[in-house]
Amino acid sequence: MRQEINLISDTITRPTPGMLEAMMQAEVGDDVFGADPTAQRLQEKIANLFGMESALFFPSGTMANQTAIKLHTQPGEQMICDKWAHVYNYEGGGASFNSGVSCKLVDGHRGMFTAEQVEASINPPHDYHQAQTRLVAVENTTNKGGGACWSFDELKRIEKVCRKHGLGYHLDGARLFNALVEKGEDPKIYGKVFDTISVCLSKGLGTPVGSVLLSDEKTFRRAIRIRKLFGGAMRQVGYLAAAGIYALDNHVDRLSEDHRRARLLGQTLESCSYVNKVEPIDTNIVIFNLEDDVDEAAFLKAMSDKNILMITMGQGKLRLVTHLDFTDDMLEVVLKELKELEKEQLQPELK
């Protein structure tokens, strides 16, 4: 059988030979004692990239986000985020479990919202019946929003609202590098606007493990303590940090290739008789719907019979994610298989 083509997520990548080599060569120490030189090098490198004072390595993006929420809030307070936000939907209810905060959900567009919507979501600070609003969290690119990129101007307008009302401002930048590359933006503009930024090294950048949380020095000191109590302080973590350094040096610019391949997948899907709608494609995520009279399970099976894997997101949405291990040759195979599939094959009553 042909090699598996996995478009389930950009997290399924394996370290490249060059990355593995960098990991094997890493100089390490006990990072719980602050003695791992490679972890420190990674943290300094990414902090400099964003023009921020500090960065802290985490085992997952979830823990980095949850630490940020804890840093900005006290139990009983409220955080504003989009109804599709990862911090609300996909972190196991962590905001309430770890920090005792509730979420005020904004009804955004593709996971993004406006400064006016933020302003309207803030509870009056002197009304003690209502939870005190303390934090705004945004996501760039948006995951459930199909890899959409924010307008930086809107992010700046939201910053103004946060400053005016004394709210913390957190960016879940799990796929921030996809947005930076796609829009040709300088990471430093983000460093100026946000109090905290989480970035995943294990998505488009292709490391096996790792995220970082960027902040100022004072916040970093508190973040280390929270990371410890969440169980995220690790020992010879330099082996993983070395993968992160390698990824920042070698895997950032190439993200534009993932975006190009995603757009080609989208164009072909548009022309398929069994596809109803393809969402706009900004970066490396393709979300599409099948025609009403097409059986989703039959489509997924037809694809997996060809060894092409993808996932359903519910509500009739299917998702493809391009990544480091998805080559042009694989793209050709997927495009060919999509084109060859006929709507009639996917209508259960005709089988």
Ligand X SMILES: *Cc1c(COP(=O)(O)O)cnc(C)c1O
Q: Applying CB under 6 A, which residues contact ligand X?
A: 60-62, 65, 86, 139, 143, 172, 174, 200, 211
Buried b (16+ CB within 10 A) or exposed e, 222-255: ebbebbeebebbbebbbbbbbbbbbbbebbbeeb
Question: In whole angstroms, how large is the CA radius of gyration of the chain?
Answer: 21
> Whole-number minimum distance, CB 140 to ligand X, in Å?
9
Nearer to ligand X by Cβ, of 185 and 295: the residue is 185
**Cis amide leading into 268 (omega within 30):** no
Cβ count within 10 A of residue 130:
13
Nearer to ligand X by Cβ, of 211 and 219: the residue is 211
> Whole-number minimum distance, CB 275 to ligand X, in Å?
24
Using Cβ positions, the residue closest to ligand X within the complex turns out to be 61
Sequence length of the chain is: 351
Nearer to ligand X by Cβ, of 170 and 261: the residue is 170
Nearer to ligand X by Cβ, of 290 and 321: the residue is 321
Cβ count within 10 A of residue 194:
25
Residues 55 and 48: their CA atoms lie apart, in Å, by 9
> Whole-number minimum distance, CB 4 to ligand X, in Å?
21
Nearer to ligand X by Cβ, of 180 and 346: the residue is 180
Nearer to ligand X by Cβ, of 60 and 196: the residue is 60
The tokens describing 11, both together, are 């997290």
Residues 114 and 13: their CA atoms lie apart, in Å, by 34
Nearer to ligand X by Cβ, of 73 and 143: the residue is 143
Cβ count within 10 A of residue 81:
27
> Whole-number minimum distance, CB 243 to ligand X, in Å?
14
Residues 304 and 291: their CA atoms lie apart, in Å, by 19
> Whole-number minimum distance, CB 35 to ligand X, in Å?
25
> Whole-number minimum distance, CB 9 to ligand X, in Å?
8
* Spatial CB neighbours of 163, under 8 Å, sequence gap ≥ 6: none
> Whole-number minimum distance, CB 322 to ligand X, in Å?
15
Residues 207 and 228: their CA atoms lie apart, in Å, by 22
